[in-house]
Amino acid sequence: MRHLLSIIIAAVTISAACGHKEAATHKLITPIKFSEVTIDDGFWSPRLASHKDVTLKVCIDQIENQTGRIRNFENAAKGLGEHSGIYFDDSDVYKALEGMAYSLQNNPDPELEAKCDEWIDKFAAAQQDDGYLNTYYTLTGLENRWSDMGMHEMYCAGHMTEAAVAYYNVTGKRKLLDVAIRMADHMMSVFGPGKRDWVPGHEEIELALVKLYEVTGEKKYLDFAQWLIDERGHGHGTWVKWRQESYYQDDKPVREMTDIAGHAVRAMYLYCGMADVAAYTGDKGYMTALDSLWDDVVLRNMYITGGIGQSSRNEGFTTDYSLPNMSAYCETCASVGMVLWNWRMNQFTGDSKYVDVLERSLYNGALAGISLAGDRFFYVNPLESLGGHHRQAWYGCACCPSQICRFLPSIGNYIYGVAKDGIYVNLFIGNTASVKLGRRDITLKQETKYPWDGAVAVTIGCKRPFKSALRLRIPGWCNTYTLAVNGKAVEVPVENGYAVLNRRWHSGDKVVLNMDMPAEIVAADPRVKEDEGYRAVQRGPLIYCMEAVDNPGDYETLHLKDGLKFESAWEADLLRGVVTLAADVDGRPLKLIPYYAWDNREAGRMRVWIPLK
């Protein structure tokens, strides 16, 4: 595996939002923000419409009417009343607000914006005079704040900061941003060099502080993020509840980390924070550690769905190559975390292997976390069920519904990137994007029926011709493909998993990538004993599964055979439109559906890994 250290390049510059001096970054690729991308896609547009029309309303109703989450802020502002729910419930409100902000970018809605402002007023009113904001300790005893590293105070502050930056970027309104700044300044008045030591029990504040640095230009927030990361593994933890340093990624200094351990979501947020800090500091120790950790996660501890975290006991990792299916935890938040981390890794290196993992986690592990209707959610995503595992309308611990709420409308972030060596096309989603390449304004229009079909067309728009490389990702699942420019077949070099079309471009030039997308029977690593004698089926980026509802009769006797050929068929009226796979196995029909779509009909058994006979 390549090491990040060996391919880091000279710093380039990116623009920040408040008009301050541009900050230098060590990243190779700058992503094109979702705000510059208008999605018009047969697969994703209906999901974004469902998010706007259904998911947001579900989250708002749960926060305002069904639970006490927003009431906690109202009580904290008055200094009266009890705290209801879990001590970190503030974070769900912030994540939902972030999702509302993203939705406003592409779907302006005065009523939704007014709801955001109403919530922000409640947050601001609940903030203490010294900048502290956490409804649990405000209502249960401020004298106990900052006494237990496992109580998520900085985690909640991190999600508030992310929401504040998102809302500021979308609306230009500073009220919540100023609240976040005051909270960050409060934390820095208590913790830091020469002050109190501290290790946040649940990572998140680290990456949020880097976002605050980017939007304000205040380097003190970047420095504080790095200080918090460097605190880990030095014996500062006082874990009241668990007393397991590895669970919190606090058993060794981060630069010495080589193997994944502990809670999966915490680990993802830590690695994101390390990558974000390294983007500005060029910290080689961080990058070397991240490279080793990626190998351990992806090669030895990741499910075929891109899910991570084998055990419900620690919501995280156990031992290498131990990947049980029915008891797989694979928290939805962890799959989203895999998208966020691999997105950052790709920006450092320009290596498509990170986007391959991002795509796998996106279309399978994360997308399974929400029902097709947009109103029910998975917290846990097993790869086999006896029929008793179902999405729920909400959870007492509702991190996953609010996570999906903020994640889905940000999907445009992950499609493109720009670097000195050209434009990167990472994901295949129908859209029109505005791209700044040097001083040139370019448009890219992408048309595709992906993930159902492997044909992708990209049309260039520009005022004047320009010379640059267009780098199209050739996914790891793709064995054969063709490329054409303006109808003429071309053969081009492939670098780091990208087909590189380096030429002079004119407005109207059209590139067509055609990827063969057969159904394939795949085996697990032989060291994964739980999958010995079983096989899975993949078509393009999608993992398929069998549900009992499609396979009546003796479900247990259905199996796969080497060399089995599947017929793919588009079924518009099934599961809101899917390509199904069908085969005849010893005179019995076998039908498979995409894993993300399971448990959207009547209850029944499901499995991803199917016996091979």
What is the C-alpha separation between 371 and 598, in angstroms, rounded? 9
Torsion, Cα of 61, 65, 69, 73 (10° steps): 110
Tokens of 86: 């879990």
- Please list the ranges in the chain whose pLDDT falls under 50: 1-20, 239-242
What is the C-alpha separation between 12 and 22, in angstroms, rounded? 10
Cis status, amide bond into 451, omega within 30 of 0: yes
- Which of 156, 333, 399, 405 is labelled catalytic? 399
Give the closest residue to 94 by CA, choosing from 177, 3, 5. Answer: 177
pLDDT digits (tens, 9 = 90+) for 339-349: 999 999 999 99
Can you tell me which residue has the tokens 């448990």? 599
User: In this structure, what DSSP letter does residue 566 have?
Assistant: P
Q: How many residues make up the chain in this entry?
A: 613
**φ, ψ dihedrals at 196, nearest 5°:** -80, 145
Confidence at residue 50, expressed as pLDDT on a 0 to 100 scale: 96
Give the closest residue to 225 by CA, choosing from 178, 159, 270. Answer: 270
3-class SS of residue 368:
helix
Do strands 534-539 and 510-515 pair parallel, antiparallel, or not at all (unpaired)?
A: unpaired
Give the closest residue to 345 by CA, choosing from 73, 27, 124. Answer: 27
Burial class (CB in 10 A: 0-12, 13-18, 19+), 470: buried
DSSP letter for each residue of 515-566: E---EEEE---TT-GGGTTEEEEEETTEEEEEEGGGS-S-GGG--B-TT--P
- One-letter amino acid for residue 227 of the chain: W
Q: Which residues pair with 496 in a beta bridge?
A: none
Contacts of 498 (CB under 8 A, 6+ apart): 350, 352, 424, 471, 472, 473, 474
Tokens of 61: 């109703």
What is the C-alpha separation between 568 and 220, in angstroms, rounded? 55
- Which of 98, 153, 315, 447 is labelled catalytic? 315
Q: What architecture does CATH give domain 42-414?
A: Alpha/alpha barrel (1.50)
Q: What is the largest CA-CA distance in the chain?
A: 74
Do strands 422-425 and 466-473 pair parallel, antiparallel, or not at all (unpaired)?
A: parallel
Q: Is the dihedral of CA 50, 54, 57, 63 positive or negative?
A: negative
Query: pTM of this prediction?
Result: 0.94
Give the closest residue to 273 by CA, choosing from 332, 205, 224. Answer: 205
Are the CB atoms for 382 and 328 separated by under 8 Å?
Answer: yes
Are the CB atoms for 599 and 370 separated by under 8 Å?
Answer: no
Tokens of 395: 């959870």
Cis status, amide bond into 401, omega within 30 of 0: no
Which parts of 406-487 are beta strand (E)? 416-419, 422-425, 431-437, 440-448, 455-462, 466-473, 481-485
Are the CB atoms for 376 and 311 separated by under 8 Å?
Answer: no
The helix/strand count (H/E) of the chain reads as: 16, 24
The yes-or-no answer on residue 602 being catalytic is no
Can you tell me which residue has the tokens 């904290």? 76
- CA of residue 423 relative to chain centroid, distance: 22
3-class SS of residue 599:
coil
Burial class (CB in 10 A: 0-12, 13-18, 19+), 210: buried
Are the CB atoms for 341 and 289 separated by under 8 Å?
Answer: no
Q: Is the dihedral of CA 485, 490, 496, 502 positive or negative?
A: negative
CATH 2.60.40.1180 fits 418-515, yes or no: yes
Torsion, Cα of 54, 55, 58, 61 (10° steps): -100
Residue 563's CB: how many other CB atoms inside 10 A?
6
Confidence at residue 25, expressed as pLDDT on a 0 to 100 scale: 84
Q: What is the 3-state secondary structure (H, E, C) of 281-333?
A: HCCHHHHHHHHHHHHHHHHHCECCCCCECCECCCCECCCCCCCCCCCCCCCHH
Tokens of 174: 């500073």
Confidence at residue 244, expressed as pLDDT on a 0 to 100 scale: 67
What is the C-alpha separation between 78 and 64, in angstroms, rounded? 17
Tokens of 41: 């896609």
Q: Where are the domains of the chain?
A: 42-414, 418-515, 519-611
Helix axes 175-190, 205-216, angle to 10 degrees: 120
Cα 320 to Cα 61, 301, 304, 309, distances in angstroms: 41, 6, 14, 11
**φ, ψ dihedrals at 513, nearest 5°:** -105, 125
The yes-or-no answer on residue 315 being catalytic is yes
Residue 123's CB: how many other CB atoms inside 10 A?
26
Give the closest residue to 594 by CA, choosing from 542, 518, 522. Answer: 542
CA angle 424, 368, 363 (to 5 degrees): 20
